[in-house]
Every structure is written in C-alpha cells, then in structure tokens.
Chain A
Amino acid sequence: MTLRKTAILAAATSALAMSAANADTIKMAFIDPLSGPFGPSGEAAYTSYLLAAEHINANGGINGDMIEVTGYDNKVNPKESLLQFQKAIDDGARYIMQGNGSSVAAALIDAVDKHNKRNPGDEVLFFNYAAVTPAFTNELCSFWHFRFDAHADMKMAAITDWIKTQDDIKSVYLIGQDYVFGQAVASAAEGQLSEKRPDIEIVGNELHPLGKVKDFTPYIQKIISSGADAVITGNWGADMQLLTKAAAENGSDVPYLTFYGGSKGAVSSLGDQAVGMLHQVSEGVTNLEANEEQYALIEEYKERFPDYDYYYHRVWNVMDMFKKAAEEAGSADPIPVAKALEGMTIEHAYGTATMRASDHQIQQPLFVSVVSDDVKYGVDNIDLGWKLVDNGTIAMDVAEQPTTCEMERPG
C-alpha cells in the first residue's frame, strides 16, 4: 500500500471512529477547583457527578447515549476558567457544570452567551449547581444558564425565618468573603433582618479576602468581643472550615447560621462543640426520612469516596432533570434540552423541584439543619451529622423569591 493510500485510510477510519464516538457519548465538562484551598469543594461535587453519570449509564444512558463527565481544574480563577471552558469545547463538550465561586460563574455565563451567539448550531448550556449570587437569575439572567441551587436571597429567607422564631437572638454578626457572593449575602441579611426582625442589631459586617485568610482568630475574637448572639456567614470551602476551626479554638459558642456548614472539615474541626451550634440551610439532608434507594445511594457514595460525604444532593437533581429533559425532547442537543427544562418538575428524595421557566431558577423546599450527635449518617468520618431543626422545613412557595429577569430566547 502506498503512503497516500495509508494516509487516506487512516483519515477515514479516524473520522468514522470520531462520529461513532459522538453518537454514543454526551460530553459534559465539570469546570471547578480540583486543587488548592477550594479543591475539596470541587472534588466532592465532581465525584457526585461521576457517580450520578455512572448510574445513568448503567441504566441504559440517555436515549441510549452514554454520559461522559470530565473534570477541568479552574483554581476558582475566572481567567483560568475561560481557558478551561475553551478546552472543554474543543474536547466536544456541549454541557458545562460549575458552582464554586460566583465570580467564575459570571465569567462563564458571559463566555457561554458569546460562544452561542458566534456559533449557532454548536450551542452550549451552563448548569450552575452552586454559584448563588441572586443576579444570575435576575438582572443578569440568560437563556443558556440554569441554576439548580437556591440563590442567596432564598437561603437567607430560610435563615431569617428561623431567626424570627428565636426571641433570644438580639444581635447578629455578619462575616463573609469579599467578592460578589459575600457582598450579596451581607446585603440580603441586612435587608431581610430589618424587615423580619427590626429589633435585631447588626453588630458587625465583615468581609475578608476570599481563600487567603489562614487564621481566623482575629475575626473570631472580634465576633466574641462584639457580644453577638448569632453569626451569619456564606463562607464555603476552606474559608468555612478555618472559620469553625478558629471558633473552636477561641471558644465562640453562639449559633453559626451558614449556607455551607457542610463544607468538608467544618464539623470535625468544631468537634462536639458543633452540636446545637452549627446550622446550615440546604436542599437535602442525609438524615431526613427518605426511601431505601436514597439510603443506598448515600452509602454507596461514602463507600466509593470515603474522604467525602453525600452532600451535593443537587448534583443528582441536575442529572435527573437533564436526563428527563433530553428524553422528553428526544435529543441531547442543547436547545431542545433547554426548552424541555423550562418549567420541568421532578420528584427527588426530599421533595419536588421545579425549574422556573421565567428565570431558570430552581424552586424547591429548603431545610435548616443543625449538627447533632444523634444521627443515622455522620460527616467528616465522625459520629456527628446534620439533623433537621424544629420547623426547619421551608416549603417551596415560602422559599420562592420574585425575579426581575427578562430573558432573550433563541427563535
């Protein structure tokens, strides 16, 4: 065989192999930190996606196609994320998942919009599973973006509703990360507290650099000397863990009302002190009543990834909704999937979730839970775990917040 013939044959077979691969795999790109101070946050979600995809594939995939989830490490850096986004697209991904850091999410929403405008027919969808700055489903909303986590105003509504019932809380300290998300949390807390409990005094409103503080002792001592009865924080990842570590060392024992107290290591660094003190608001709690299937899933996750705990329940909601949408649309192409996702409702282990069509913000019940030593599933490989507080269930319609989104939809 001549060299030319060989070359033609090679080109033909590789083209064939490629088209076969494209028909059989739905490539999804996970763009989040897989190293550094927020590495564990990314890793816990990434492993959840891998397991969810594995289960879908084992049950015949989506319309017969297999899902392939690939991780891209963005180091929580918007610039790096855009490089990884381009890499993911070059690798053939049509769906991207990201959640750690609203600064990154903002850059990706913009990048996806631009990409879709310039490449009709090659659109990309962005499944945001954890970046909760309210603006993304309000003034910055986009048809290509779907958020599967309750945003900061919704979570804050759950926290302030709980505070409303706690008469002994007279003053509150706000501490957060100094970027768009931490600022959103602080302003949500100020606004909602002045409405629901105007008698509460906000004795501190502190923003610290994101992921840079290695020792929160000075901050904790400020909290202690302010005499606050409760602390509200949106901190996540290492910033959450180190905050609780310093709280334990310095003996700060007021209730901590958090968005992400479930961050790896936060409970274990507080130890027994966490009981009755560390609260979080989330869309699922492993120690809620659930069916056997859910218990089996929690146990399988723990067995497969012993360093982490089943925490990212919403990742399963992302994948279940995606599967249902692609099957309803009869296609895994982004535009039909996006249209099917609008207004879609699924039943998940802890309730019902609906993707609101007007702003692509998921609506679901939220749960306020607290660390307890009397639980079925512990976290951080110790016996302490999350338990629902009294009246801790916030119904879907109570958690719902209005939107100002005016979305441009493709023709």
Chain B
Amino acid sequence: METLVFGLLNGVSYGLLLFMLSSGLTLIFSMMGVLNFAHASFYMLGAYFAFTISGSSSFWIALFLAPVLVGLIGAAVERYGLRRVHPNGHVAELLFTFGLAYLIEEVVKIVYGKTSVDYRVPDLLNFAAFEVYGASFPAYRLFVIVIAIAMLIGLWYLLKKTRAGLIIQAALSHPHMVGHLGHNVPLIFMTVFGIGCALAGLAGVMAGNIFVTDPAMAIQMGPIVFVVVVVGGIGSLEGAFVASLVIGLLQNLAVGINASFADIFGFIGLSELSEVGRINISSLAPVLPFLLLVLILIFRPQGLMGEKEL
C-alpha cells in the first residue's frame, strides 16, 4: 500500500514534468514535421538560466524570466536557423537540430563548467507539505504539480478557445491556406517554436533543482522525451499528456517493487539462482520506457492518440 501511494505521488509529479517538456516538442513536430533533437537542450538552458537569475535575484523572478529568455532564444533559432535550413528538406533540419544540441552543450560547459551547479529549491518551498506512512512529501513537488496543471490548462485554453489558437491549429495542418487568408505563417511558426522552447525552459526551471543541473542533463532527458512523444502519438498533445503520466508512474512504481523474475515466474520453474531469475523488477525501471516504445511501435505505430503513422 505504501509503495503504491509513494509511487503514485512521485509518478504524477515526474509525469507532469515530462509533459511540460514533451508538449513543446510535440507542438513543434506537428508544425514542422521535424523532431527537434535540441529540445532537451532548451530544457537545460532553462535550468542554468534559473540558476543564474535566482542567484542574483530570486527564484520567483527566475520562474518567469528564464522561460521567456529560453523562448526568445528558441524563436531566434527558428528565425535565423531553421527557416533557412527548411528548404533543404527534413534531413537537413534534423541534422541542424542535432548539431545545435551539441553546440548548446559545449557552450554551457564553457560558461558554467563541466560539473554540476548548486541550483537549490527556494527556501520558501523547502519544507514538508504532508506526511504519508512516515515519509514526508516535499512542498516543492506539490508546487511542480500545481504549475504543470496550470500550464496544461493555459495551453489547452490558448489552443482550443482563442482565435490565435484556431489560427495556429489551422496553420499546423494547412499552412498554405492560412497564408492565402492573409496570416503571416512564418511568424506563427516562429511563435510556436518559441513557445515550445519556453515550455521546455520552464520544465528546466522546475526540474533543475529536483534533479541535477549539469551539462549532461539534456542528453539524459532527451531519449525519454522522445519516448513520450512517440508513445503518445506524434503531434498529439493529449497523447503526450497520457504518455507522460504512464511513463512517470511506470518508472516510479517499478522502483518500489521488490520482487524478482523468479518470484513472478517461479510457477513455470524459473529458479532464483538462474541469471534471468535473479533480475529485480526495481533494477529494470530505467529500461521500461524504452520497452514501451518498442512495443508501441510494433503494435500501434501511430501511438496512443496519434493520427498519422511514423
């Protein structure tokens, strides 16, 4: 029971962070048809900017300023980089974002050093929110959940209920038609790219102090984000939301399970002493998202809620 409650709480907070990160990626994909390999790098930039800003002023200023800065950088990347590369096709775009990811990582190493920086949870939120079964749940994680849900509602409202959202949706599926109607489609693309990056930056601000802010954080987060986007169905925000929560819960619940393969498959004669029987479910936790990715691609290539196949 304890395991289940802990797993649910942590899984939801981690899953919502993943959604913050992957929503931007899936928006950008449905718009440009390109997987932005540098997406997790914007997440890293968010964390580093928040570290710098909260060091010289306060975390609350960083919470607003860092995502805005990251969004502006993202917009500039689209305007002066991707837009020029675009006529050369998708492969060129893919390679461009691939190179960009390395570039950002190296710049971060030069500016902030090769080891992690001491980016901390603000004192105001550094207390135990409540206690379950003797373990306390940090208030900051509760704050992460609140911010993520607020972002989710904000994004949903923007896309589904406002005029700007309608134009964006139209531009995603029928850019030429929207252009002929007199809207500035390149500007829309730049804005969406900027917003996507800003969301990644926001995730960085929130996650950098829960996890570790170091130059490797982008490379470590990158694969998981792709898994979320593919499992959810490329281009589908709802799918990304469901997939984030599924992966967050899956990973956190698996760590809490003490059983080994032998305990589960003992009835077919798998022995505790064999190589396979000794594997613990908890040690499998890091692999599970990728297992899910492979299974989804085999059995449901369009993802949980996606419309088009890869």
Contact = CB atoms under 8 A, between A and B. Distances in A.
Interface of A: 34-37, 39-40, 43, 178, 204, 206-209, 212, 214-215, 217-222, 224-225, 238, 242, 249-252, 265
B134 to A, nearest CB: 5
B13 to A, nearest CB: 9
B33 to A, nearest CB: 31
A115 B114 CA distance: 31
Contact of A219 (B115, B137, B255, B286): B255
Contacts of A40: 115-116
A36 B286 CA distance: 19
B134 A34 contact: no
Interface string B226-252: 000000000000000000000000001
B136 interface: yes
Given A37-B216, A225-B133, 18 more contacts: A35-B114, A35-B115, A35-B215, A206-B282, A209-B283, A212-B220, A215-B210, A215-B211, A218-B7, A218-B252, A221-B3, A221-B10, A222-B3, A224-B133, A242-B212, A250-B138, A251-B136, A265-B118
Contacts of B210: 215
Interface of B: 2-3, 6-7, 10, 14, 109, 114-116, 118, 128, 131, 133-138, 140, 210-212, 214-217, 220, 252, 255-256, 258, 282-283, 286
A251 B131 contact: yes
Nearest to A212: B286
Contacts of A249: 128, 136, 138, 140
B135 A218 contact: no
B114 A252 contact: no
Contacts of B282: 206
B278 to A, nearest CB: 11
Contacts of B220: 212, 214
Name B's interface SS. Answer: mixed
15 contacts: A204-B258, A209-B286, A212-B220, A217-B10, A218-B252, A220-B135, A222-B6, A222-B255, A222-B256, A222-B258, A225-B135, A238-B212, A249-B138, A251-B128, A251-B131
A37 B214 contact: yes
A215 B137 CA distance: 14
Contacts of B135: 220-221, 224-225, 250-252
A222 B10 CA distance: 12
A218 B256 contact: yes
Nearest to B115: A39
A178 B283 contact: yes
A37 B256 CA distance: 24
Nearest to B221: A214
Given A215-B14, A250-B138, A251-B135, A238 B116 contact: yes
A265 B114 CA distance: 16
A25 to B, nearest CB: 27
A10 to B, nearest CB: 36
A246 to B, nearest CB: 9
